[in-house]
Amino acid sequence: MIALVPLIPLFQVADPQLPATEGVFLIGTVVKMLIVFSVYMVGVAMLTLAERKISAWIQDRHGPNRVGYGWLQPAADGVKNIMKEETYPGTANLPLFVLAPAISFIPAMITWAVIPFASPLPTPWGRIDMVVADLPVGFLFCLAISSLGVYGIVLAGWSSNNKYALLGGLRSSAQMISYEIAMGMATVCVLLLSGNVSISAIIQQQATMGWNVFLLSIAFFIFLVASFAETNRLPFDLPEAESELVAGYHTEYSAMKFSLFFIAEYANMVTASALITSLFFGGWDIPFTQWDNLPPFTVLKTILTLGAFLTKVLFFLFFFMWIRWTVPRFRYDQLMSLGWKLMLPLALAYITIIGTVVLVLDRAGIARGPMFGAILFGMNVVLVVLLFVVLDRGRIVSPAYSRLDREEVARLRNMSLGKSTLAEKKV
Amino acid sequence: MGNEFLPLLYSFHFYLFGLLAIAAALAFVTRKSPVAAAMWLITTMFALAALYVMMDAQFIGVMQVLVYAGAIMVVFVFVVMLLNLGHPSEISDIRGKWGRLIAGFLGIALLAEILALTRDPMDLRLVVPVIPATVNGTGGIIGGVAGPLFREYLLAFELTSILLLIAIAGAVVLGRKRSAADAR
């Protein structure tokens, strides 16, 4: 109690438009953490329901409709998973086996700390930024933390001491490393435009120049595809491909530990949607107006921008589910060739193009504003059309339903027999 | 918090992460299971990253996690899992009497060096250019690293990248030769 006494002067009434003092900042951060965490967890629980309802809608079924007309299904699932018996494989590496579900879930949640979700909120004690921690290295923090998610899956696969689980873990680590590179390269373009790695700065740049999805369309496509691979969602769910690996890395898990992997998948989806929103769709920016970005900040602005942010995130969550029930799973060689032979070179080429254009426009003395954005948009339309023309010939990525020609079959057979490509050329 | 609380908070976190780093490093060298050792190494990296952040080197802290924990160690774990080294009790790194003697001698020498340095503090501080941690101008916090790297030290930077490229090409060539020999 005595320690609290010197804190009282810190809560003096201050200008609502200026940043809050230390004490208010501390309390505000704790409140923000609690709110974001609760909303996030409830949201993730409701997403499992949303996925089942949307899948039912797409497949022309009813979906869950018994427990509270379907609305209480997540609660029923939760209770069931907690009540169930937890089984441990006899030869499992127990510490890592227990640790793995937590490691796969926590990184997805930590990433939310740096994502701004509304315009600053004015309070009687000063202005409070609507982000848990506005790190100056915000975006790099996201990349660093999301690259750790792979450990959960890899450790789950290894510690289960089960060959299907191990195969799932190996597939997942190979897949995530491959697509992480393409993802990182795609975001280099975003950093080229914003000139800063703080997510608030990236959102501010999009408010003045236009959303990055129009300025950097190809980078957006690469990021979108890579985030499907990073979240292990269809069409990239090879780590848990049921038809090949039983259930992949979580074969040996039961009850709440299995449920944690399930929650982690949805948590990753939410985080990926929020990142796509922040990097390419202007974050909490309301389109066609500058009203929301400029001070003075009001409570109304905070509520409206929060609405804009949530709308965008929910759209991408829907998009994730939509794709899941539309597109079949890739073959493993298709997955690898898409990542390494198409997306990575494409991202590198795109960085070069964007870098050149930005340099030329800067030298030409065009200010970073709507005009700058319009020129980039025009260039992107041309590039996207060119890219679609090239891709549509079906040479780079052969569709899953296309028949393999004889040479391709021979090549795949050689691969499975362990013959190298050099030997194949001699034949 | 008031100014009187911050140094306390700072030293608390310094000792927390410092002890964590040392404990994890000890666990890393003593574990026999390669995957457990890798996990402890990752913990060490994390603690080091936290210490970097506390020194206002946020970029280096993030890079520590991104490059070491997020990329290099994933590949390590991947390879360890693929090799399947057998039962941990059969593996040992301790190489006989002489190995232990040399290791013990090195350890004592290093400890003596640290003690000597604390006893007689020479002015060994590096002169670090003062860059404010929260630059809000162009480039933000990265600008302080990127500016010198791409202006004053551009040649060295490019030479380093060429060196890395040569190393990658060399690794590919070495890997290829062996597979060609196998094919014959």
pLDDT in tens, A384-406: 888 877 776 655 555 555 566 77
Which of A12, A110, A158, A419 has the most B C-beta neighbours within 10 Å, making it the best mutation to test the interface with B?
A158
With 90 as the cut, is the pLDDT of residue B23 above it? yes
Residue B45 lies in a domain: yes
- Choose the weakest-confidence range: A316-320, B23-27, B51-55: B51-55
Residue B98 lies in a domain: no
Chain A environment of B183 (Cβ under 8 Å)? 419-420, 422-423, 426
For the segment A63-73, what is each residue's pLDDT rounded down to a tens digit? 888 887 888 88
Percent of chain A exceeding pLDDT 70 equals: 89
Helices (H), A325-420: 332-337, 344-363, 370-391, 406-417
Chain A environment of B138 (Cβ under 8 Å)? 195-196
Residue B100 lies in a domain: no
**Mean pLDDT, range A116-141, rounded to an integer:** 82
Q: What pLDDT does A8 receive?
A: 55
Residues of A with CB under 8 A from a CB of B: 6-7, 10, 22-23, 26, 93, 95-96, 135-137, 140-141, 143-145, 147-148, 150-151, 154-155, 157-159, 166, 169-170, 173-174, 176-177, 180, 195-198, 201, 419-420, 422-423, 426
**Mean pLDDT, range A302-326, rounded to an integer:** 90
Q: What pLDDT does B136 receive?
A: 47
Confidence category of residue A236, pLDDT binned at 50, 70, 90? confident
Q: What pLDDT does A352 receive?
A: 92
CB-based contact A205:A192 (threshold 8 Å):
no
Same domain, B87 and B10: yes
Chain B environment of A201 (Cβ under 8 Å)? 140
Residue B125 lies in a domain: no
Q: Omega into A64 within 30° of 0, i.e. cis?
A: no
Q: What pLDDT does B133 receive?
A: 47
- What whole-number distance in Å separates Cα of residue B154 and Cα of residue A133? 33
Closest CB to A137: pick one of B39, B59, B138. Answer: B59
Measured between CA atoms, the residue of chain B closest to residue A97 is: B36
Q: What pLDDT does B16 receive?
A: 92
- What whole-number distance in Å separates Cα of residue A221 and Cα of residue A186? 9
Q: Which of A223, A192, A212 is nearest to A373 (CA)?
A: A212
Q: Which of B41, B73, B93 marks a domain boundary? A: B93
Same domain, B156 and B69: no
Residue pointed to by tokens 């597109």: A327
For the segment B68-80, what is each residue's pLDDT rounded down to a tens digit? 888 888 888 888 7
Closest CB to B134: pick one of A136, A157, A169. Answer: A136
Same domain, B7 and B75: yes
- What whole-number distance in Å separates Cα of residue A359 and Cα of residue A366? 10
Pairing verdict, β A121-123 and A126-128:
antiparallel
Tokens of A166: 């191990």
With 70 as the cut, is the pLDDT of residue A203 above it? yes
Helices (H), A94-216: 94-110, 138-146, 149-159, 163-194, 199-209, 212-215
Q: Which of B42, B114, B26, B127 is nearest to B76 (CA)?
A: B42
CB-based contact A279:A223 (threshold 8 Å):
yes
- What whole-number distance in Å separates Cα of residue A94 and Cα of residue A257? 13
CB contact under 8 A, B66 and A136: no
**Mean pLDDT, range B27-54, rounded to an integer:** 87
Percent of chain A exceeding pLDDT 90 equals: 7
Closest CB to A144: pick one of B70, B134, B179. Answer: B70
CB-based contact A118:A130 (threshold 8 Å):
yes
Tokens of A354: 């964007």
Cβ count near A408 (within 10 Å): 13
Burial class of residue A340 in the structure, from the number of CB atoms within 10 Å of its CB (0-12 exposed, 13-18 middle, 19+ buried):
middle
Same domain, B10 and B70: yes
Q: Which of B40, B74, B93 marks a domain boundary? A: B93
Q: Which of A35, A28, A31 is nearest to A129 (CA)?
A: A28
DSSP 3-state of A87 = coil
**Mean pLDDT, range A113-138, rounded to an integer:** 82
Q: What domain range is B147 assigned to?
A: 137-184
Rounded to 5 degrees, what are φ and ψ at A391?
Answer: -65, -30
Burial class of residue A337 in the structure, from the number of CB atoms within 10 Å of its CB (0-12 exposed, 13-18 middle, 19+ buried):
middle
- What whole-number distance in Å separates Cα of residue A50 and Cα of residue A44? 10
DSSP 3-state of A94 = helix
With 90 as the cut, is the pLDDT of residue B19 above it? yes
State in Å, rounded, how far the first CA of chain A is from the last one.
Answer: 83
Residue B39 lies in a domain: yes
Residue B57 lies in a domain: yes
- What whole-number distance in Å separates Cα of residue B40 and Cα of residue B46? 10
**Mean pLDDT, range A323-337, rounded to an integer:** 83
Residue B9 lies in a domain: yes
Q: Which of B38, B65, B93 marks a domain boundary? A: B93
Cα dihedral across residues B69, B70, B71, B73: positive or negative: positive
CB contact under 8 A, B62 and A141: yes
Helix (H) or strand (E) run with residue B65 in it: none
Return the ∠ at Cα A244 (arms to A326 and A106), rounded to 5°: 75
Q: How many domains does chain B have?
A: 2
Chain A environment of B65 (Cβ under 8 Å)? 144-145, 147-148
Same domain, B1 and B87: yes
Same domain, B89 and B29: yes
Q: What pLDDT does A421 receive?
A: 52
- The whole-model pTM stands at 0.81
CB contact under 8 A, A10 and B2: yes
For the segment A252-293, what is each residue's pLDDT rounded down to a tens digit? 888 888 888 888 888 889 989 999 999 898 888 888 777 777
Confidence category of residue B25, pLDDT binned at 50, 70, 90? very high
Which of B60, B135, B136, B141 has the most A C-beta neighbours within 10 Å, making it the best mutation to test the interface with A?
B141
CB-based contact A157:A53 (threshold 8 Å):
no
- Choose the weakest-confidence range: A292-301, A313-322, B63-72, B79-88: B79-88
Closest CB to B140: pick one of A144, A196, A422. Answer: A196
Confidence category of residue A351, pLDDT binned at 50, 70, 90? very high
With 60 as the cut, is the pLDDT of residue B124 above it? no
**Mean pLDDT, range A292-307, rounded to an integer:** 81
CB-based contact A214:A377 (threshold 8 Å):
yes
What CATH number did the domain enclosing B28 receive?
1.20.120.1200
Residue B153 lies in a domain: yes
